[in-house]
Amino acid sequence: MVRVTPQVWQPKSLEEAWDLGRSLGSGASYVSGGTWLQIQWRAGSLPRPGHLIRLDSIPELYERSKLHPPGDREPGAAPTGRPSGSGAESFRIGGMTPLAALRYDAGWGRLFPALPSACRRIAAPAVRELATVAGNLMTAGDLTPALVAMRAQLVWFTEGMRVRQSLEDWLQGGGAAGSGQGADPAAILAAVEIPPGALGGETFYVKLTRRDTFVPAVVTVAGWLVRDEDGVVREAVLAVGGAGARPGRLRRAEGCLKGGALWDDRVLLSTAQAVWEEFAPKGDTFSSADYCRRAASNLIIRELIKMRDPSQGGGQSAATQS
């Protein structure tokens, strides 16, 4: 078998990278950390492209920052449809941010506790130094459910503009199976934005694996809840991934929680049943679909029980394995 030696391009801006992606077409591949792509090439699961467009020399892709209130659009940004003048701020994570950077960033850990927990459970330390936020999302990796639970927005660079799209919408449209945004295969995932509403809630993240690293998750669950002073759930987002299923929200299970209290076992039982009925894993040789479904349901209920009982570590991010 003849091995292709790709030509490597190293653009200095998003505009230059997008122009290359558009002109080189299907014969080119964007590369961020490259950890996932290398595994696929060696296994023969993906053909080696004739051109590699490296994104690691574009400073914007490494930025992590607090943004202006919605409505104060940056130059070149497309309209988002969000109301202006709310005074709330969102937070941006550049697509080239290494997973290790989020794992050890104490500030981000305080703002979004589920993120460091998720990053700590992905691959091995050396891989996390290279693997990026954008790369993990583009392959529907283990970080995805945590960001779905935080209702993350993706910021794509396409046609000279930055276009926002919810992560949930992208996944529902089959985005995780392909590359780029919408009809533009050359689009670049420039950043992920966390909306202001994701602050102040209780979060959890659990990745169930057969061993600690270098194996796909059996199932991954994440959640974000807001409760009032009486303990009634006012807002809830539950997300699940792994088990051969595309990551996404469990809206029926969320509906069982809203308006209920975690101390009410009937609420937890109905939530558990909804997860079982809503989650549609494929399973594999080692873990059947029913096992994955039951695992997701049990893990979510376990974390909700922790939230209602502070002595059990309620409101903290969690990670587990088997």
What is the CATH number for 65? 3.30.465.10
192 and 170 within one domain: yes
Q: Which of 53, 140, 150 is nearest to 92 (CA)?
A: 150
Q: What is the pLDDT of residues 7-54, one digit of tens each?
A: 999 999 999 999 999 999 988 999 988 877 887 788 787 888 899 999
* pLDDT, position 310: 67
142 and 177 within one domain: yes
Residue 184 lies inside a defined structural domain of this protein:
yes
* pLDDT, position 36: 74
Phi, psi of 225 (to 5 degrees): -135, 150
Residue 322 lies inside a defined structural domain of this protein:
no
Reading across the β-sheet that carries 188-194, which strands appear in turn?
64-66, 91-94, 188-194, 153-158, 161-166
Summary mean pLDDT of the chain: 83
In a 13 Å sphere around the CA of 61, the CA atoms on its Cβ side amount to 26
For the cut 50, the answer to whether the pLDDT of residue 225 exceeds it is yes
236 and 172 within one domain: no
214 and 190 within one domain: no
Residues 141 and 147: their CA atoms lie apart, in Å, by 11
* pLDDT, position 140: 86
Number of domains the chain contains: 3
Q: What is the pLDDT of residues 191-219, one digit of tens each?
A: 999 988 787 789 999 999 876 555 668 89
Residue 319 lies inside a defined structural domain of this protein:
no
For the cut 70, the answer to whether the pLDDT of residue 162 exceeds it is yes
* pLDDT, position 83: 34
Whether residue 104 contacts residue 70, with contact meaning beta carbons closer than 8 Å, is answered with no
The last residue of one of the domains, among 179, 197, 215, is 197
Residues 42 and 33: their CA atoms lie apart, in Å, by 16
Please give the residue that has the higher pLDDT: either 68 or 98.
98
For the cut 80, the answer to whether the pLDDT of residue 169 exceeds it is yes
The last residue of one of the domains, among 181, 197, 213, is 197
148 and 247 within one domain: no
Average of pLDDT values for 169-197? 77
* pLDDT, position 294: 94
152 and 63 within one domain: yes
Residue 320 lies inside a defined structural domain of this protein:
no
| DSSP assignments along 200-254, one per residue | TSEEEEEEE-SSSSSS--SEEEEEEEEE-TT-BEEEEEEEEEETTEEEEE-HHHH
207 and 143 within one domain: no
Q: How confident is the model at residue 314 (pLDDT cuts 50, 70, 90)?
A: low
34 and 17 within one domain: yes
Residue 98 lies inside a defined structural domain of this protein:
yes
Instruction: Report the range of poorest mean pLDDT among 42-56, 156-170, 228-242, 290-304.
Output: 42-56
Please give the residue that has the higher pLDDT: either 60 or 40.
60
Average of pLDDT values for 269-276? 97
- Other Cβ atoms less than 10 A from the Cβ of 26: the count is 9
* pLDDT, position 130: 83
29 and 136 within one domain: no
pTM over cut 0.75: yes
* pLDDT, position 226: 94
CATH of the domain at 264: 3.30.390.50
CATH of the domain at 27: 3.30.43.10
214 and 106 within one domain: no
Q: How confident is the model at residue 2 (pLDDT cuts 50, 70, 90)?
A: low
Structural domain span for residue 145: 59-197
Residue 170 lies inside a defined structural domain of this protein:
yes
* pLDDT, position 182: 54
* pLDDT, position 122: 80
189 and 69 within one domain: yes
For the cut 50, the answer to whether the pLDDT of residue 316 exceeds it is no
For the cut 90, the answer to whether the pLDDT of residue 6 exceeds it is no
Buried b (16+ CB within 10 A) or exposed e, 161-191: ebbbbebbebbeeebbeebbbeebebbbbbb
For the cut 70, the answer to whether the pLDDT of residue 152 exceeds it is yes
The last residue of one of the domains, among 165, 197, 229, is 197
Average of pLDDT values for 291-300? 95
* pLDDT, position 250: 97
Q: What is the pLDDT of residues 245-263, one digit of tens each?
A: 889 999 999 999 999 999 9
Residue 2 lies inside a defined structural domain of this protein:
no
265 and 252 within one domain: yes
Q: How confident is the model at residue 134 (pLDDT cuts 50, 70, 90)?
A: very high
Whether residue 56 contacts residue 119, with contact meaning beta carbons closer than 8 Å, is answered with no
Residue 36 lies inside a defined structural domain of this protein:
yes
Q: What is the pLDDT of residues 78-128, one digit of tens each?
A: 443 333 334 467 889 999 999 888 888 777 777 777 778 788 878 777 778
* pLDDT, position 75: 41
